[in-house]
Amino acid sequence: MKRTIVALLTAASTMALAAVNARAEEPIEPIKPPQSINLGLVELGKKLYFDPRLSKSGFISCNSCHNLSMGGTDNIPTSIGDKWQRGPINAPTVLNSSLNVAQFWDGRAADLQAQAGGPIANPGEMASTHTLALGVLESIPPYVREFKQVFGTDKITIEQVTAAIAEFEKTLVTPNARFDKWLLGDASAITADEKAGYELFKDSGCIACHNGPAVGGASFQKMGVVEPYKAASPAEGRSAVTGKDADRFNFKVPTLRNVEMTYPYFHDGAANTLTEAVDIMGRLQLGRKFTAEENAKIVAFLKTLTGDQPSFTLPILPPSSDTTPRPHPFDK
């Protein structure tokens, strides 16, 4: 009897180990915690990320369009900027953005630091200038002291500002999704339907673009491979990557991490639900019409990719010495 029990336990352990090893070969990888983070830089970057004084009006911050309580985006088709200006493209999530091959839908920023300076000076977004933003920071003594503590210099530069914001954004990863737990050996972490959805996701070809730890973000692909895509916004004419007209609709493949939170979908925010997005992607990219049951299983799988959301204490922003009223950014 004792030998039988030992044999059964050994067999069970062997099967469990084999299952873990098999999952280690899956095209999707678990999210890992951020590596080599400078905590002083993170704390400074967190303040800057939430500080609306980097905008011309003093009302728009990075968090306005990449809201960390809303999946790192703003849940509207295209973002609203200074003086009610509607942007041309959907705001991608900032969560897990450090895993992207490049930043922005068209990849024009090589990394998070290069991206961070863009919205500040964009007339349709925060509508400031780097010079004006630096002047605001230099007028706030607590910021001057903190920049000196972190960088060891008296002068604040835009490179320091963007480096701090980027360092904070590197911490915005979302580990421990149920699917990650399944990948790491917890067979009960996902249901039979969710697993069936994953198998369908792989067998249909979705995995060719949506793979790796971010389940996307690692390549650029044409939107509308089998059927042409009819965009719903001015983003229709946007040329991605090279700026050439021939490259229209070539976009960075978005991450599917936390995708149930980052609606509406696509570069123009035209799909309001995951069900609609799965249907469109199946037809346009794969030439496949999913049944309602198949669609539901894929959606169920996608929802297992929601991980732990960033948890931190909101920063107390240093008080400004300038109390001059500013116009509201949405005033015309």
Q: What positions carry a catalytic annotation?
A: 125
Name 2's Cβ contacts closer than 8 Å, sequence gap at least 6.
none
Find out whether 140 and 321 touch, Cβ atoms under 8 Å.
yes
Identity of residue 50: F
Q: Measured over all CA atoms, what is the biggest interatomic distance in the chain, rounded to whole angstroms?
A: 84
Sign of the alpha-carbon torsion through 264, 266, 270, 271:
negative
CA distance 325 to 190: 53
CA distance 303 to 208: 19
Nearest alpha carbon to residue 66 among 48, 43, 42, 39: 48
DSSP state of 88: S
CA distance 305 to 260: 8
CA distance 115 to 55: 16
